[in-house]
Chain A
Amino acid sequence: MDGRATTLPKTPAGPLDAGPAGRPHVTIRGLSKRFGKAVIYDKFDFDIPRGKLISVFGPNGCGKSTLINMIAGLIPIDEGEILFDGKRLNEIKFGYVFQNYREALFPWLRAIDNVEYPLKLMQVPAAERKARSEKLIAHLGVKIDLNRYPYEMSGGQQQLVSIMRALIVEPEILFLDEPFSALDYEMTLFMREQLQRVFQETGTTTVLVSHDLEEAVYLADRVLLLSRHPALVADFVHFDDARPRTDATLSAPDFIRIKAHCLEVFQREVRKG
């Protein structure tokens, strides 16, 4: 982290970008996906580096969400292979945060029971569940009352509960599908800080789908820019500014330059359509 930003050439970006363990975290090979006649992915290759926060950004309908949904097993893939350190999805622990927190949380459970639910599925005893949720709460510095039901909470609080629910299993990788797009601007700013804190505290490989370029760059170590479908890697941009990033980051020359570059690539891809 020398604060210097660079842009790298096209795929596969992974090998050039290996984490501390020296190899990428997730390897995607020959991924193909069609919806009816539309080819969304055609023999798509990509490596997700370890311990980084990656933002996925691209034109509408290019398959941003489809990509993480396929990686997380929510949508079946037509062809190809996705491996996590050589392992399959069912062999690893991962977290997923939905855009629609209102429908993703269980309204019949208190917030704290929502957070602990994945542990219950793993048959972790109640005492240990409690210990682990308390640890997570302390770790993230969460100050909201988790004994309430989700519908008694604000949107941001509900999404924070969703993120905690994803983190409680100590996932190897965390996926977020436009997690803040249903929140108002004030809450979005607050939640960006929360997510940054989560990432700084845990160092979990994180893949964030965003439709907001400022957010995508501000939060990311790497910005994956996709083309229109069939999606290709239009660019894989580094943003290595030190954390915690603050409001000052938004007006720093590096940030502005990277954001401008991303916008240029994005516009180019949009015009191609």
Chain B
Amino acid sequence: MKRLDPFLPFVGAAGLVAVWYIAVWARIVDPVLLPSPAETFWALWKGMTGGALGMDFLMTVRRTVISTLIAAAIAIPLGIFLGSSERLYRSVEFVIDFFRSTPASAMFPLFLVLFGVGDETKISVAAFGAMLVILFNVAYGVMNARKTRLLAAKVMGASRFRVLTDVMLLESLPQTFIGLRNGVSLALVIIVVAEMFIGSTDGLGHRVFEAQQLFAMPDMYAAIFAAGALGYGLNLGFLLIERRYVHWSGK
């Protein structure tokens, strides 16, 4: 039985497809609203290989990656700075938590006024949301650095700056990656929502919305699956980078 363990993750997926087939076969749902898995995956395949879906997929990847990079570039140095002094972080914690709790989608109108109806608005709202998530995690990673480890560096004669670069930074990496994974997921959510707006002409959000408007149900499900695969893939990507470079995480 143990030999079959690697296949366990596929059980749920196979089950889902099976239930889906049964629902289509038994006509539990209107066939117009729920195409068969085969139809859907065919639409996905066609769309991704040379169809418009592939292009939309790439646009969403591009926006999500850019906004996450901007967020990380601001949040990581700022998080280290704020986290290196607990009193400093406590003094700005309320502001960070407040905006972290504010739905980023509520900021769209403001950012539309600031940046107009273009990519800048989508990317900056996503970057704003992701930035706060990453910032909070980095700062906590730095603040929760093991006291003994900091003392050990200090007792060996490390300067405050060396303690920061040699210990605190590395200590915060596991938590930083948690922030990056949450941040990229949030960025994707915001980007896809933004792409559904009037004025958007591409991206997965646009594709889902347009397919729904045209009643092209297989295309709509295909776009949803593409978005799901993207979110899963981005998360997995960060997880693999973390396992490679933050090998001590959780040990």
Contacts and interface: CB of A to CB of B under 8 A. Distances in A.
Report whether chain A binds chain B.
yes
B148 A121 contact: no
A228 B219 CA distance: 78
Interface string A112-136: 0000011001100000000000000
A256 interface: no
B166 to A, nearest CB: 8
A108 B155 contact: no
Contacts of B155: 72-74, 96
B162 A121 contact: yes
A118 B170 contact: no
Interface string B135-158: 000000000001111011011111
Contacts of B170: 106, 108
Contacts of A121: 156-158, 162
A42 to B, nearest CB: 25
A151 B251 contact: yes
A104 B152 CA distance: 6
Contacts of B146: 103
Given A108-B170, A121-B162, A151-B251, A103 B156 contact: no
Interface residues of A, number: 20
Interface in A75-122: 96, 98, 100, 103-108, 117-118, 121-122
B148 A98 contact: yes
A118 B170 CA distance: 17
B151 A151 contact: no
B182 to A, nearest CB: 23
Contacts of B156: 117-118, 121, 165, 169
Contacts of A103: 146-149
Contact of A149 (B147, B157, B166, B247): B247
Nearest to B167: A106
A-side binding surface: helix, strand, loop or mixed? Answer: loop
Interface string B158-183: 10001000110010010000000000
Contacts of B154: 74
B248 interface: yes
A64 to B, nearest CB: 17
A124 to B, nearest CB: 12
Size class of B's contact patch?
A: 20 to 34
Contacts of B247: 108, 149
A98 B152 contact: yes
Interface string A164-181: 010001000000000000
Nearest to B251: A151
Contacts of A122: 157
B251 A107 contact: yes
Contacts of A105: 152
A118 B158 CA distance: 8
Given A106-B167, A151-B251, A74 B158 contact: no
A98 B146 CA distance: 13
B148 A104 contact: yes
B175 to A, nearest CB: 14
A100 B147 CA distance: 11
Contacts of B157: 118, 121-122
Nearest to A118: B156
B174 to A, nearest CB: 10
Contacts of A169: 156
A107 B148 contact: no
A21 B198 CA distance: 87
A98 B151 CA distance: 10
Nearest to A94: B155
A129 B152 CA distance: 19
Contacts of B173: 108
A121 to B, nearest CB: 5
B144 to A, nearest CB: 12
B132 to A, nearest CB: 27
A268 B137 CA distance: 52
Contacts of B248: 107-108, 149, 151
Contacts of A118: 156-157
Which 5 A-B pairs rank lowest in CB-CB distance, beginning with the nearest?
A107-B248, A103-B148, A151-B251, A103-B146, A118-B156
10 contacts: A96-B152, A98-B152, A103-B147, A104-B148, A104-B152, A106-B149, A106-B167, A106-B170, A149-B247, A151-B248
Given A107-B248, A118-B156, 11 more contacts: A74-B151, A103-B148, A105-B152, A106-B167, A106-B170, A108-B246, A108-B248, A117-B156, A117-B166, A121-B162, A165-B156
